[in-house]
Amino acid sequence: MELRNKIIIVTGASSGIGAAAAALFAREGARLVLGARREPELRALADRIGSAEVLAGDVCEAGYAQALVDLALATYGRLDGAFNNAGILGDLGPLPQMTPDTWHRVIATNLTSAFHAARAQIPALRRTGGGSIVFTSSFVGFSNGGLPGMGAYAASKAGLIGLTQSLASDHAAEGVRVNALLPGGTITPVLGDDSPEVMDYIAGLHPMKRMAEAEEIAQAALFLLSDRASFMTGSPMIVDGGMSVRLA
């Protein structure tokens, strides 16, 4: 029971890595506040796993992060950690053809939302006496080998690593740990209706010759939120099936 009685916020919890993480954290004893835009999916997940409150909303809105924290405090009396996992891939293509709307939407969802989350979560964690924040970045923001068409996504995920390390330095002495999780290709709904041929191609890019299951990435998030990672902060933790090694 790695997270026994710990109060954890999970965003992007309606599907994919977030849903897998919420289910895993609940099995490990956590009590959860689940966030995502799709309320029916959130409520179905909460009914399935138990020990969870839900609040639908958009991580791009500044007040939503605070509302999730307020719900945790009102329901459970404290906050011990957060898995800030919500993110989007955005429209892919060369930057000269990218619309400003796409750029701003990807940056807002993947990076500015982390700013909102940190502003709301860190004061609550201080009151608890410390805790752990995990952001979902990507190997694309660390060593992507120039994967084409991913300018906005790469910029947002690289920025998230920089933010993570700055926050870790600022708040380590307060007992607040901040780390970034860098998944490789993962089988989630974000891939949309890609054909088996496309999925096989993506899998083949990985030295392990497969993509991750969402639960595998959730296990890494569990480690970072647990006391087993008590001396880890500011780390870009790579869980990518060897992609960053191949592309370095």
Residue 248 included in any domain: no
Residue 32 included in any domain: yes
Residue 2 included in any domain: no
Residue 143 included in any domain: yes
Strand stretches in 102-210, DSSP E: 131-136, 176-183, 186-187
Average pLDDT, the chain: 92
Q: What is the dihedral of CA 115, 148, 185, 30, to 10 degrees?
A: 0
DSSP letter string over 82-129? EEE--------S-GGG--HHHHHHHHIIIIIHHHHHHHHHHHHHHHHT
Lowest-confidence region among 34-38, 133-137, 139-143, 235-239: 139-143
Q: Please state, in angstroms and rounded to a whole number, the distance separating the CA atoms of residues 20 and 239.
A: 16
Residue 87 included in any domain: yes
Residue 247 included in any domain: no
Helix (H, G, I), strand (E, B) or coil at 55: strand
Query: Active site includes 153?
Result: yes
How are beta strands 186-187 and 176-183 bridged, if at all?
Answer: unpaired
Position 151 scores a pLDDT of 92
User: Out of 64, 76, 153, 201, which one is annotated catalytic?
Assistant: 153
Average pLDDT over residues 111-127: 98
Average pLDDT over residues 120-149: 90
Percentage of residues in the chain with pLDDT exceeding 90? 77
Average pLDDT over residues 219-240: 97
Q: What is the CATH number of the domain that holds 70?
A: 3.40.50.720
Residue range of the domain that includes 30: 7-242
Position 205 scores a pLDDT of 76
Count of domains in the chain?
Answer: 1
Neighbours of 127 (CB within 10 A): 12
Confidence check: pLDDT of 192 > 60: no
Residue 81 included in any domain: yes
Average pLDDT over residues 103-128: 98
Q: Which of the residue ranges 2-11, 147-156, 238-247 has the most confident prediction, judged by mean pLDDT?
A: 2-11
Whether 7 contacts 76, CB under 8 Å = yes
Position 190 scores a pLDDT of 67
Select the more confidently predicted residue: 143 or 112: 112
Position 76 scores a pLDDT of 97
Q: Please state, in angstroms and rounded to a whole number, the distance separating the CA atoms of residues 30 and 176.
A: 18
How many Cα neighbours within 13 Å face the side chain of 96?
0
Phi, psi of 22 (to 5 degrees): -60, -45
Select the more confidently predicted residue: 202 or 114: 114
Average pLDDT over residues 150-159: 93
Confidence check: pLDDT of 200 > 70: yes
Residue 1 included in any domain: no
- Using alpha carbons, select from 18, 28, 87, 29 the residue that is nearest to residue 54: 18
Position 194 scores a pLDDT of 63
- Using alpha carbons, select from 212, 139, 121, 124 the residue that is nearest to residue 181: 139
- pTM of structure: 0.94
